[in-house]
Structure 1
Amino acid sequence: MFEQKGYQKVEFNQKPDIFIINTCSVTENADKKCKKIVKEANKINPDGYVTIIGCYAQLKPQEIADIEGVDAVLGAAEKFQLINLLDGFVKEPSGNKAKVYNQNIEEAVEYHTSYSLNDRTRTFLKVQDGCDYPCAYCTIPLARGGSRSDTIANVLKAAREIAESGVKEIVLTGVNIGDFGLQNGKRENTFLDLVKALDEVEGIERFRISSIEPNLLTDEIIAFVASSKRFVPHFHIPLQSGSSKVLALMKRRYKRELYVDRVTKIKELMPNCCIGVDVIVGHPGETDEEFLETYNFLNELPISYLHVFTYSERENTTALAIKPVVPMNKRAERSKMLHILSDKKRRYFYEQHLENSFTVLFEEDVENGQMQGFTENYIRVTAKYDPILINETKKVKLSTINENMLVEVEEVEVYETH
């Protein structure tokens, strides 16, 4: 949108005239980061126009407006009108409070197609936004509004545009991606309909599903991915707790038995599949015994890695009323234990696949004469830099795991240079 108006993108440290800062608000830390980045922007260009958008901007617009150096704050619906609202980007006189454009989150009902363009090999394509699940710890429904989706026709159009740009892998993203299909409050289709349609898109070699709720990951989706041409064997499935009691406190929509069922089904159909897991430690009401239940549950499951989140208090969430509150030192201790478990799980997953052949999509990042990429089942590999391999999928044999937890490979597939 900026480029269409004649603006040019520059790096943060190149003294931009306009800073657009997109915020998260999943943890308290995200709010602190916003303040820090505003300070940096003011230092780089004291005359630069600073606009804050994103979840924090929707949740706490007045708090952001009070941050010194902020010129405008735009909520979830308004950020898509950013250029129309602010075009010209005339900085307010010193001492004036920031302009705030922020309506009630119930007004954020439109869906806007978007995908990333900053990587030659992989693009993130958003297909869904918002969430109707009121989990006890989460502010996302308050920051992003109700669940709404793109149409399948629009998603296919975007996927074909991405294919034309030469990108080989698309990662499908959304706030609650498994709930895909809601348009104007009506269910028009399902996530399964979407993946079936995308599997026919020529020019994209891989589709990856970013994160999908266990209760929305159906047998049919798992079976389709297992037999598809382009969807890779990799799922990221939020668990949050391995204790059914804590899951109930969190207002999650399943019990641990369902999670076991999903993982078992995936591994039956795709033994090499990578399974990532989100876990929250230190949620109010989580006892030492329930944390150990989670730890042992994860330890026994054939999963591949963890994303560990330490619970942090968020305004207007029902978790604030749950007692007892877990002390911060216990939260940190539990987080450390799960991070160590994650490293062990990842190493074991990698070890299981050594001496076997997989395809790797090689990326442009080159460091110390080495290039990296991911196998279809999300094993991070490293190989000697070869410019011909960038943005190519090549068959390789996995060799050894190095000290950086990268798998070294032997080039298997022969290619010709011209």
Structure 2
Amino acid sequence: MRTVFTVSLGCPKNLVDTELMLGLLVEAGYAPCEEADQADLLLVNTCGFIQSAVEEGIEEILTLTEVKGQYPEKKLAVVGCMVQRYGADLAKEFPEVDLFIGTEGTQEIVSRLQELTQTKKSRLHLAPPTFLQDSTWPRKLSSPAHRAYMKVTEGCSNRCSYCLIPSLRGDLRSRLLDDLVIEARMLAENGVQELTLVAQDLTAYGLDLGPGAPRLVALLRALLAACDIPWFRLLYLYPTRVNAELLEFMAANPRIVPYLDIPLQHVSDSVLKGMNRPYGRRQIETLLAKIRSILPQAAIRTTFMVGFPGETEADVRQLAEFMQEQKLAHVGIFGYSNEEGCAAYTLAGQCSEEEKSERRQRLMELQSGISLAGNEAMVGKVEEVLVEGWSRETDLLLEGRTR
């Protein structure tokens, strides 16, 4: 039996793509293996969103080309966002790689591998992204057996000035509600206890399906009725579409865990305008007040970007002030990455890497204290958890995830 070693880089949406390819390969007679040197096929699903992700992908390719150098009979396939972005350059730089596929065509992984025996066939496959998976495609889950991701949409039709996702993944494409229900039932039958719905913008679900099409709350209602999975988690929510209907539905249905991942990106009105985010600080504060009123137990996670072109020290102080006031449960701070092809690439007022690093460090230290205080407030409380397994620190403790 042939074997395959997979590496999935980047976001949970990418992981679902990897699981789809793995399912197709298993159907074609491959068996997953955990060691690269024992595999007949080496498969890397890359991220190409920002430069640091590209560098990670390059390092992984280099590692696996070394393995292939020792075992030339192995096949090496590189797929995903980085190939969609840099495919022709990668094909020139890495002659050792047998197959490159962008974000359109991963569903053809088996036939593309079979074509490698035909010397006239191209080893680089790029096309505009249009594919949308459905429940008929096989998936080989790689997450722990008790939890899984389900991709609800593909692509994104927001046009944030710093983001390449629409060019790499295409415009928003929503799956049909009935098909998502079928997949959720299958995952429930396989023992999944926590199902995370993932999309670049989960709140945009159904916008592309026309007037009267079901939206996110209708989808959640159907999923709750269709299967007995105890916990559903939502990733990611766009700030302007987190409305009272969604919050009230979550409050009335505790199987939707009160965890809101809402990437705010900044709070300065001028920075947000440059990012092409259609809201300002006042709207953010109104949203957070609404969440705490309707869903007071909610844990709110967000990300902020520092060093966006034109960001001033006053903007950073405003962000720090906001963080101190709001005391959000989980905050990630990232430095702006100036990516060619984005609308922000040519903006004036680019910040230096030193400025980005210093601002990020300053805000991370602030959030560290906020998070510590929040954790200390949990001491003595009893929480329902989903047990993950033995602790990574000691076999005398179990680790679990709260709601």
Q: TM-score range by the shorter chain?
A: 0.7 to 0.9
Post-superposition CA distance 1:248-275 (Å, at most 9, x none): 0000121122221221112122322110
Q: In the alignment, which of 81, 84, 93 is matched to residue 55 of structure 1?
A: 81
Question: Does structure 1 residue 13 correspond to structure 2 residue 36?
Answer: yes
Letter in 2 for 1:67: E
* Displacement of 1:276: 0.4
| 1:398-409 alignment, distance < 5 Å | none
Tell whether the 8 Å contact from 1:71 to 1:97 is kept in structure 2 after alignment: no
Q: How far apart in 2 are the matches of 1:335 and 1:90?
A: 50
Letter in 1 for 2:127: Q
In structure 2, runs of 5+ residues without a counterpart are 1-23
* Displacement of 1:344: 2.1
Letter in 2 for 1:241: H
Tell whether the 8 Å contact from 2:301 to 2:328 is kept in structure 1 after alignment: yes
Post-superposition CA distance 1:206-230 (Å, at most 9, x none): 0011221111111110111111041
- Taking a change above 3 Å as real, the CA distance of residues 362 and 348 of structure 1, as seen in their structure-2 partners, is same
Q: Kindly report the root-mean-square deviation, in angstroms, between the aligned alpha carbons of the 2 structures.
A: 2.1
Tell me the equivalent position of 1:104. Answer: 128
* Displacement of 1:188: 2.2
SS of corresponding position for 2:250 = helix
Q: How far apart in 1 are the matches of 2:128 and 2:221?
A: 36
Tell me the equivalent position of 1:325. Answer: 350
Question: Does structure 1 residue 80 correspond to structure 2 residue 80?
Answer: no
- Taking a change above 3 Å as real, the CA distance of residues 81 and 72 of structure 1, as seen in their structure-2 partners, is same
Tell me the equivalent position of 1:138. Answer: 163
Aligned residues: 371
Q: How far apart in 2 are the matches of 1:343 and 1:171?
A: 26
Q: In the alignment, which of 43, 52, 55 is matched to residue 32 of structure 1?
A: 55
Q: How far apart in 1 are the matches of 2:266 and 2:347?
A: 16
* Displacement of 1:183: 5.3
- Amino-acid identity (%): 25
SS of corresponding position for 2:372 = helix
Tell whether the 8 Å contact from 2:292 to 2:298 is kept in structure 1 after alignment: yes
TM-score (normalised: structure 2): 0.87
SS of corresponding position for 2:305 = strand
Q: In the alignment, which of 158, 165, 170 is matched to residue 183 of structure 2?
A: 158
Tell whether the 8 Å contact from 2:36 to 2:42 is kept in structure 1 after alignment: no
| 1:63-78 alignment, distance < 5 Å | 63-68=89-94, 69-78=96-105
Letter in 2 for 1:250: M
Letter in 2 for 1:65: A
Tell whether the 8 Å contact from 2:149 to 2:198 is kept in structure 1 after alignment: yes
Q: How far apart in 2 are the matches of 1:64 and 1:149?
A: 31
Q: In the alignment, which of 198, 219, 233 is matched to residue 194 of structure 1?
A: 219
* Displacement of 1:97: 11
- Taking a change above 3 Å as real, the CA distance of residues 207 and 319 of structure 1, as seen in their structure-2 partners, is same
TM-score (normalised: structure 1): 0.84
Q: How far apart in 2 are the matches of 1:74 and 1:55?
A: 9
Letter in 2 for 1:207: F
SS of corresponding position for 1:104 = coil
Tell me the equivalent position of 2:202. Answer: 177
* Displacement of 1:88: 6.4
Tell whether the 8 Å contact from 1:64 to 1:70 is kept in structure 2 after alignment: no
